[in-house]
């Protein structure tokens, strides 16, 4: 079987504008979108640029818009598209070349919410003991810990499209993940970022982020649970006279 696959090309040194190019690609039931792209690069046109690495939805590198929907190339199959198949770079990001986008905006937001365990301050003086956690404490955040930073939720989020300053679904889901972790003491540092207009409050609960998440993280739930947390945090600040 063969399939005509259209790819949105952007070669800034040669063409000022992006353009569509069609490739005739053989496929069977096991051909992923990423396999098709690799076939194009190896057999048809070595100048086509795209990111990929693990081929098993772990690394989060191969995010593209497939027929307008954000997808991981390795987790989506050519057989799912019986008619037309268009592949574009992820929406809402700056395109560097062909299907490659600059992830800087997302990474800045990710850095701002400190997505790592923060120790108690000042650190306890007694010798370090293992941080024990019960299964119930793990269950609180486990779902949100599956994020692979692929950026599909940012390509799906119309609010991020309108306002790139919005911290966005992925970073908020990870902030929420660490806030819910019983070993963490960094909530007080993360909340000022989430409390701003560009934090949780820019979300209008469209929910498409959760639809497209390839790992079932449900960032929309994290953002909206984050609104309750943010409202509580602001109320506490108001009464206590400081964050």
Partner 1 sequence: MKRWRGLHLEPVWWGLFSAGGVCFAVFIPAVALVFTVLAPLGVVELNDQQLQAWYGSWWGLMFTGAVICLPAFHAAHRIRHGLHDLKVGGGFWSVLICYGLAAIVSVFALWIWFNA
Shortest distance in whole angstroms from residue 214 CB to partner 1: 26
Helices (H), the chain: 33-39, 104-112, 135-142, 152-156, 158-162, 169-179, 187-195, 208-212, 219-240
Shortest distance in whole angstroms from residue 44 CB to partner 1: 40
Among 31, 195, 210, 225, binds partner 1 (CB under 8 A): 195
Among 192, 207, 215, 221, binds partner 1 (CB under 8 A): 192
Phi, psi at residue 159, to the nearest 5°?
A: -70, -35
Q: Which is nearer to partner 1, 33 or 223 (CB)?
A: 223
Closest of 152, 155, 159, 161 to residue 199, by C-alpha? 159
Shortest distance in whole angstroms from residue 186 CB to partner 1: 18
Structure tokens at 39: 């076939």
Contact between 162 and partner 1 by CB under 8 A: the answer reads yes
Length of the chain: 243
Shortest distance in whole angstroms from residue 204 CB to partner 1: 5
Query: What's the distance, CA 23 to chain centroid?
Result: 28
Footprint on this chain of partner 1 (rule: CB under 8 A): 158, 162, 192, 195-197, 201, 204, 227, 230-231, 234-235, 237-238, 240-243
């Amino acid at each position: 079987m063969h399939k005509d696959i259209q790819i949105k090309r952007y070669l800034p040194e040669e063409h000022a504008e992006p353009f569509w190019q069609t490739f005739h690609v053989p496929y069977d039931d096991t051909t992923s979108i990423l396999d098709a792209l690799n076939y194009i690069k190896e057999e048809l046109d070595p100048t086509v640029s795209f990111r990929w690495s693990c081929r098993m939805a772990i690394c989060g590198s191969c995010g593209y818009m497939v027929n307008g929907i954000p997808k991981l190339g390795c987790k989506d199959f050519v057989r799912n598209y019986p008619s037309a198949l268009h592949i574009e770079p992820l929406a809402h990001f700056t395109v560097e070349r062909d299907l490659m986008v600059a992830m800087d905006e997302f990474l800045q937001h990710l850095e701002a919410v400190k997505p790592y365990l923060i120790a108690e301050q000042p650190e306890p003086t007694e010798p370090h003991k293992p941080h024990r956690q019960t299964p119930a404490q793990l269950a609180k955040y486990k779902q949100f810990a599956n994020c692979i930073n692929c950026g599909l939720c940012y390509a799906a989020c119309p609010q991020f499209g309108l306002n790139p300053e919005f911290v966005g679904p992925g970073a908020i889901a990870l902030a929420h993940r660490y806030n819910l972790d019983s070993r963490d003491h960094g909530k007080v540092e993360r909340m000022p970022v989430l409390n701003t207009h560009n934090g949780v409050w820019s979300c209008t609960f469209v929910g498409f982020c959760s639809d497209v998440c390839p790992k079932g993280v449900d960032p929309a739930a994290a953002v909206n649970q984050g609104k309750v947390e943010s409202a509580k945090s602001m109320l506490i600040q108001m009464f206590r006279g400081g964050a």
